[in-house]
Structures are given as structure tokens and as C-alpha cells.
Amino acid sequence: MKYLMLAAIFTFGSFSTLYAQKQSAPAAVWSAFRAKFPNVQKVKWDEAHKGEWEAEFKMAGTERSAVFSRDGIWIETETEIQVAGLPAAVQRAVTAQFTGYKIEEAAMVETPGLAMGYEVGLEKGGATIEALFSSAGTLIRQMSETQEDNDNN
């Protein structure tokens, strides 16, 4: 019985260690990342929803993330910014369209179809919304935290 218990503990510990190891993106993703960000040395990879890979890294002292398809196609890059760094048009749009919400975080977003956009994390009470705006303040997309969690599964 003692040996059975030790075997179970060893097996569980082995699986926990394997699960906790860092993920590495496929070669096509790494290649595309290196082509787009040749000077970045330290990268943390996470397999995101729907087979996409997200790289988290610092560039020029700023937190960034980039998302690629499993085939290495670049999907988007987000660059963390201060809320005060949002364009006035975006700040006005948030105030007008999301009454009572507070901007908790902000990022510049680049995608193949959007040269520059701004993503904001909004909070009001227990409700959290993520909204994407054009630099002119046009709302492109909004998603509640619940929708985002469901999309990631």
C-alpha cells in the first residue's frame, strides 16, 4: 500500500512538472516572429484560442504582445500604453458610449487590416468590457469578459 501511494505521488508530480513546462511555438510561428521582431531576445509563448500563438515580450522598454496563426501568419500586435496616451477622440468616444465605465488599461493595436487602433479595458462595478477603437474614435468591436473567456475555450 505504501508503494502504491508513493507511485501515485510520483506519477502526479511527473504530470504536474510536464504541464508546468514552458510552451514553445511551432517553427513557422518562430520564423514569422523573428522576421517581424528581429531584435527581441526574450519571449514568453502561450497557445491562445483557436490554435493561435501569443508572444509576450518587451521592446524598447514597453510591454508588447503579438499573435500569430499556427502557420506563422501575423494577426496582431498590441503595445501597452498609458491611459493618458489615448487619442482625445478615443477618450471622448469611451465617455460617450460607455457611461460610468472606467478605463483600466489601454494598448495600441496593429493588425493587417487596421494600421493603428486602440484597445481599452473598461470596468464598471463587476462588469468588464474590452473595446477596440480606430484612432478617430470609431468603435470597431466590443466584447464582454464573459464572451472573451468563452472564445478562448
Which CATH class name applies to 2-152? alpha beta
Closest CA to 78 of 108, 44, 54, 58: 108
- pLDDT computed for residue 19 by the predictor: 40
Closest CA to 133 of 79, 91, 83, 84: 91
Sign of the torsion angle spanned by Cα atoms 106, 110, 114, 115: positive
**Confidence (pTM):** 0.75
The rounded Cα 32 to chain-centroid distance in angstroms is: 17
Sign of the torsion angle spanned by Cα atoms 129, 130, 132, 136: positive
What are the boundaries of each domain within the chain?
A: 2-152
pLDDT (mean) for 65-77: 97
Could you read off the pLDDT of 27-36 as tens digits, one per residue?
999 999 999 9
